[in-house]
Each structure stands twice: as structure tokens, then as C-alpha cells.
Amino acid sequence: MTEKKEKSHLSLPVFAVAPMIDWTDTHCRRFHRLLSGHALLYTEMVVADAIIHGKRNKLLDFHESEHPLALQLGGSDPVKLVEAVRIASDWGYDEINLNVGCPSDRVQAGTFGACLMREPQTVEACVTAMKKVSPVPVTVKCRIGVDEQEPEAVLPDFIDRMVGAGVDGIWIHARKAWLQGLSPKENREIPPLDYPLVHRMKARHPKVFMGINGGITTLEEARAHLAVMDGVMLGRAAYHNATLLTGVDHAIYGDPAEAVDWSTICQAMMEHAARHIADGGRLVHLTRHMVGLFQGFAGARRFRQILSADATRPGAGPEIITAAFAEVDVAAGPVRAA
């Protein structure tokens, strides 16, 4: 458990790495934090029932270096969400986020995620209840609509309800979700993006924190959105091309431009790996999140091969990370656009 930082992480602007199931675990977040000191990080979605009845330390523990860090919850029962927030408050997260955007079948089966776009009154009740007990900001991550809904009609009402419930921020994925007929992957690619609609929602609520998500792949695109929005969120683009995160502190937060200290990053991940292995874990639990590093660098293919093959072998140790980094010509930088 960790102590809360006093400074609000929602001070503008905000660059966030999206919550991604099976990806943004604590190992991923510790790696991403080495690449950006300011980016807002999110946990994987954690179901309220799991926190109430499951192994809380396993679900909620994180390293203090991961701040600022938001916990994303899944659920639709205000009573259960309140209990989950009460429990999680002891861990010292910087934000509690309610998932109203995930379209996967297993989320729909639990009557939460994107299907809640059809039940704005339920989400309103959840946010109202969570706000009463949360010591930190409560935010919502949503879609612009689902299935046959007309986003122009449903999104303004949804956001008005969230604002009325006292929400501290809204992250909007600028695509509809089709709950039948499209896979989660297809829902990230096929429904058309509607950035102008999201921008208009921000204009309607200038005093409410609003961030945009969906289809953004470069820091240049992120900066363009931040001319209108308060925050910008990248998911798979940041995960699969993790080197992008090394530019966030300068491009988004205005820190001085500095050369990336790759040796320090390598050493930090080796030390983390050694501790994790000593506690009974496996090297691949960490290295699977590092494969997207060094896109466009000479030696990147060999780097990926080592982390994808050697790190999965029984008994693999931290030295595999050193071997992988040694294959990359970091001094030359990227030889092509990532």
C-alpha cells in the first residue's frame, strides 16, 4: 500500500495510457513509468465483485513508482461499487475510473462496460454513490454510443447525467461499440471515429475535465487534440510502440528534451525481474510488455526475438534483458519512422 500524492494528476494537460485487459498489469505499468515520468497510467479493469470477494492484494497492489495511477472498476451495482471503492481507498490510487466502454462478451455478461451506454441512469447512480465515498477523483470512460444509438442524441444526455452526478472527468472513446457482430478488436477498428463530436462535448462543458481516446497513434496527433481537449489517451499505439512514451514528458508536459538513458531503463527492468523471479515469478511476466520497444531501431527484430523466445524458457533470468538491449543500436536511434 502507498500514500496518496496531494497534487492533482488531472492538472492540464494529461496524457494517459489506456486501461487494457491482460496488458496493463503492474509489470507493464512499471515499465511504462520508466519511459515517462508524467503519463497517467491505468490498471486493467478490475470487477467490483472480485475486489469484494477475491484476493485483494493480488488485484490491487502496485509499486509507488507507478503514480499517478488510476484504478479502473467494472460494475453496475452502486452498492458493490461503493464497497469496492472503500476497499481500494486503502491502496492510495490517484483516481477511480468506471468502465462504460468495454465491448467484450464477458463484460456484457456481467451487465457492465459499453452496454451501460444504454442505461445512463444506472451509470449516474453509480457515479453519485462512488463520489460519496471516494477520497480521490471519480471518472468515467465511455463510448459515443452503442449499436443503433445515434451518438449525437445519446452522448450529450449521457454526459449531462455524469456532470450532474458530480463526475470529476470523462474519457470518451470516439467510436460507437457494436455489441453484437463485432469482436473487441473489430470494435477498435471498424466503427468510424467521430472526433468532432467529442470536441463538441468538451465545448458544451468547458469546466469539466474531458479526454479523448481512439485511433490516436502519434504525439503530434495527441498535441492537436490537446488544443481542444483536456486529456488524450493512447492504448495499443503506446503498448505496441512503447518508445513513443519516451517523448511524452517533453512533447506534452514541456520538460527539457533529453536523450533517453536506455542503460538505466535496462538496469531497472533487470532489478525488477530479479525481485519478481525471487518471489516465484517468471521473467516473461515482465518481458512480454517490452517487446514493442525500439520500433524502427537497428537490431529491433533481434531484440523482439530474444524477449519472445529466450525469456519464455524455464529458468530464464534477468540477463536475458541485457542480451536483448545489447542487440539494439540505441546510439543511432530509429532508422525509419516507427
The catalytic residue positions are: 102
Where is 210: in which H helix or E strand?
Answer: strand 209-213
Cis peptide before 156 (omega within 30 of 0): no
CB 260 within 8 A of CB 333: no
Helix (H) or strand (E) holding 231: strand 231-234
Say how many Å lie between the first and final Cα of the chain, rounded.
37
Three-state DSSP class for residue 146: strand
What does residue 2 show for φ and ψ, rounded to 5 degrees?
-130, 160
Reduced to 3 states (helix: H, G, I; strand: E, B; else coil), residue 218 is coil
For 220, half-sphere exposure in the C-beta direction (CA atoms, 13 angstrom radius) is 0
Strands (E), 36-186: 40-47, 69-74, 95-100, 138-143, 169-173
Phi, then psi, of 86 in degrees rounded to 5: -60, -45
Please state, in angstroms and as integers, the Cα–Cα distance from residue 313 to each residue in 26, 72, 282, 285, 308, following that order.
22, 32, 9, 12, 10
Identify the helix (H) or strand (E) that includes residue 14: strand 14-17
DSSP for 312-334 reads GSTT--THHHHHHHHTS-TTT-B
d(CA 92, CA 238): 25
For residue 285, give the amino acid letter.
H
